[in-house]
Amino acid sequence: MPTRTTDLIPINAESSVPTPDASTADYARSISRRIHALTLFILLAALIGFSLFAMQAFETRMAPEIGKKSATIGRILAAQIERAVGYGIPFAKLVGMGPFLASVFPDNPEVAYLLVADATGAILYAAGPGAAEGQAALAGSSAAMPHPEDAIPIRSVGTFYDTALIIKRGDNRIGALHIGVRQSFVRGQLAEIIYDVLTVLVVALLVAFEMVAVLVALRVARPMARAERLLERLRCGDFRYDGNGSKGDEVGRFTAALAAVTRRVNERYWRLVQEAEEIKAGQIDPGIVARIEAAMSRLNARFSFPAPGASLISLREPSLASVRGPLFLFVLAEELSRSFMPLYIHQLYAANPMVIPGLSEDVIIGLPIALFMLCIAVTTPIAGQWADRWGTRRLFIAALLPGLVGAIGTALAGSVLDLLWFRSLSAIGYAMATIACQGYIAQTAPAGGRARAMAVFIGSIMLAAICGAAIGGVLADRIGYRATFLIGAGMIPLAAALLLALLDEPERLTKSAPNADGQSGWRAFRALLGNPRFVALMLGSAIPAKMILTGFLFFLAPLYLRHLGYETATGGRVMMSYFVLMILLGPLAARWADRSNRHRSFVILGGVLSGTGVFSVLYWNDLWAVLAGVTALGLGQALLTAPTLALIPEISARECQRFGQATVLGALRVIERIGSVAGPLLAAWVLGQFGYAGSAASSGVIVIAGSVLLGLVLLALGDGRRTATARGLP
């Protein structure tokens, strides 16, 4: 008796596969938070312990090291004195001892005094800014004459570390030479080391946070999302996909088990198809054949199976973390030089001066920074087209060549002219890498989540800026400028290798729609330049904001701090405060501006605050003046950055409706680069004419004047959105 097809193929209206838990994303976030907290706690405890150990070791060894250096200086001086006495000159009547001792101080600024005492401890000769204090401290002290058994004694005498060496005539002791170093100098050196250790601690935590975020996203969030998508497809009756899960973790084993079930279902389906064909071939009743075909048709309509012999389709889950780590490393490689680039250019210029008619030394020093910004501005729109054509992986790998050659060439440059060429290559590679990652993030971001996805992009760049500015200054002080550039060069291929290891998604998940009108970009520029509100926003906020950023923060601040005598690491820490404020206050300012709907007020207030802060350099010539200016700049830029973007739909509503908001924002990005290029050149020119204070003040005047101009224009012309609404535009 023939088998009935209804016995072979039970078809239900609903699938028996359970619906995936809706809280999967929340569970993944919970796991992510716990892993972050545990990892950072362990790292923080280890790094704090290491930092305390390092600081104690430095403090214990600092004074003996100072004593060794003082002893070296003392041996040279004592040998000359003993030589003179050996010629028969009376020890108490040596001529020219003042200039002789004074010649030590220019090359050894840590030495506070040099005192020469006779056998009774009476001071015969003295020199140095702390000679009087040292002589008073030694009076009546046992340190006035060292004991014979003391080889190189170093003692704390008053506020000094005193190193005493015996002066002999033959085998007889005739006096002693005292070399004094202020204890405050030693404490200052120790403080610098402590600051460097704390800087390394903060940077290590930030890097660990970034790397943990990447690993959690790739090893926890993405596998869980992939398993969820596979369950969803199975629930819908689609048996064509493989979860592609690793068997090294629970989620991977679960996904592999689902894939094994899928393969068994596919095997039984094709076995069923074969049996159905055999039954059809053995039937002579057309009605039964029709019933078999109808059942198989309903089965194929309800479920999806792969073709005979075909493999399962590997299910891939796009993840923003695939480019987050590589982007961080690539940007960090460039940001390592942020705190000392003007100092490096000045060093190259001093070694091999380059004469350009009509340009002063200060302007020539600002040229590489301006050219770097110009090359980024020119390359960015071209790199966007390459990203659409080649995809993220190819464009990022292509950025490896100019970025690596530029970084190595920068380290080996022998003149400013060489540096101009290599900085151009670095800028091209930087633009290509960042645009590749930005395009990937824009393509993989879920609908309604692009703003949050772009926050990942901006956050990685800002975090790399913080780490680079801080640790770059420390490295430059410890190992030199060129070695620091080479370390940055080593990070670039590491970033490319990390991208190849993590980015396993298709090159282009979505293909950008071709632009129907190739000239629409230029027409958008012309239309925007005819909009007085947009022009006022550019001239009053966007361009001046970039000018003071590159002119004051990137160019003037490092040079001024070195002029004041501070080390490169100090400049890096000062510069880091700007990026910290941007990260912490930028989102808060954007939220406040949205809630109050006063974007124009935030833009104007931010500009005034940015410009006002740099005037501190006019009144104080110290570190705190520069720190105050950088802090005010960070606060002001945090207030105006996001509201400036929010103003675009208001003041350019007609252009946004005609050309698209993305095109208008792209025009904003290109135009504001004018300020990035002009900033260091203008600051350098004013520096040559009016000095550091005048250059800083001119940047502040430009920003404040631009903000006032913007406020007056918007007050006179009104809100562009209201005008557009009156004309019937959205």
Q: What is the CATH number of the domain that holds 440?
A: 1.20.1250.20
Does residue 410 have a pLDDT over 90? Answer: yes
Last residue of a domain, one of 265, 297, 316: 316
pLDDT value of position 423 = 92
Q: Please report which confidence band the pLDDT of residue 93 belongs to, taking 50, 70 and 90 as the band edges.
A: confident
Q: Looking at 302-400, which runs of residues are DSSP E strands?
A: 313-314
User: CB–CB of 231/239 below 8 Å?
Assistant: no
Do 554 and 571 belong to one domain?
yes
pLDDT value of position 313 = 65
Average pLDDT over residues 391-412: 89
Does residue 284 have a pLDDT over 80? Answer: no
Place of tokens 């950088």: 630
CATH number of the domain bearing residue 95? 3.30.450.20
Does residue 114 have a pLDDT over 80? Answer: yes
Q: Please report which confidence band the pLDDT of residue 11 belongs to, taking 50, 70 and 90 as the band edges.
A: very low
Does residue 424 have a pLDDT over 90? Answer: yes
Average pLDDT over residues 524-528: 77
Do 396 and 533 belong to one domain?
no
Domain contains 13: no
Domain contains 617: yes
pLDDT in tens, 257-273: 777 777 788 778 788 87
Between 282 and 536, name the one with better pLDDT.
536
Do 492 and 530 belong to one domain?
no
For the chain, what percent of residues have pLDDT higher than 70? 81
Do 55 and 150 belong to one domain?
yes
Distance, CA of 722 to CA of 730 (rounded, Å): 10
Do 468 and 556 belong to one domain?
no
Closest CA to 217 of 51, 36, 426, 80: 36
Does residue 421 have a pLDDT over 90? Answer: yes
Closest CA to 346 of 365, 319, 370, 360: 365
Tally the domains of the chain: 4
**What stretches of 114-157 show up as alpha helix (H) in DSSP?**
131-138
pLDDT value of position 8 = 36
Q: Alpha carbon 499 to chain centroid distance?
A: 18
Last residue of a domain, one of 449, 484, 511: 511
Last residue of a domain, one of 284, 316, 348: 316
Do 505 and 553 belong to one domain?
no
Average pLDDT over residues 294-299: 80
Which residues contact residue 420 at a Cβ distance below 8 angstroms, ignoring those fewer than 6 apart?
367, 368, 371
Q: DSSP letters along 216-234, please?
A: HIIIIIHHHHHHHHHHHHH
pLDDT value of position 319 = 65
Place of tokens 């993220």: 392
pLDDT value of position 525 = 75
For the chain, what percent of residues have pLDDT higher than 90? 6
Do 259 and 355 belong to one domain?
no
pLDDT value of position 696 = 87
Does residue 432 have a pLDDT over 50? Answer: yes
Do 450 and 494 belong to one domain?
yes
Q: DSSP letters along 388-454, please?
A: HHH-HHHHHHHHHHHHHHHHHHHHH--SHHHHHHHHHHHHHHHHHHHHHHHHHHHHHSPTT-HHHHH
pLDDT value of position 508 = 44
Domain contains 12: no
Domain contains 112: yes
**Dihedrals phi, psi of 313, to nearest 5 degrees:** -80, 130
Do 46 and 148 belong to one domain?
yes
Distance, CA of 618 to CA of 223 (rounded, Å): 57
Alpha carbon distances (Å) from 97 to 103, 115, 620 = 10, 10, 39
Which residues form the domain of 279? 1-6+237-316
Q: How many residues does the chain have?
A: 730
Does residue 509 have a pLDDT over 70? Answer: no
Do 348 and 449 belong to one domain?
yes
Does residue 511 have a pLDDT over 50? Answer: no
Distance, CA of 688 to CA of 561 (rounded, Å): 17
pTM across the whole model: 0.72
Domain contains 229: yes
Do 26 and 128 belong to one domain?
yes
Average pLDDT over residues 7-14: 37
Average pLDDT over residues 384-404: 84
Do 410 and 457 belong to one domain?
yes
As a whole number of angstroms, the longest Cα–Cα distance in the chain is 138
Per the prediction, the chain carries an average pLDDT of 77
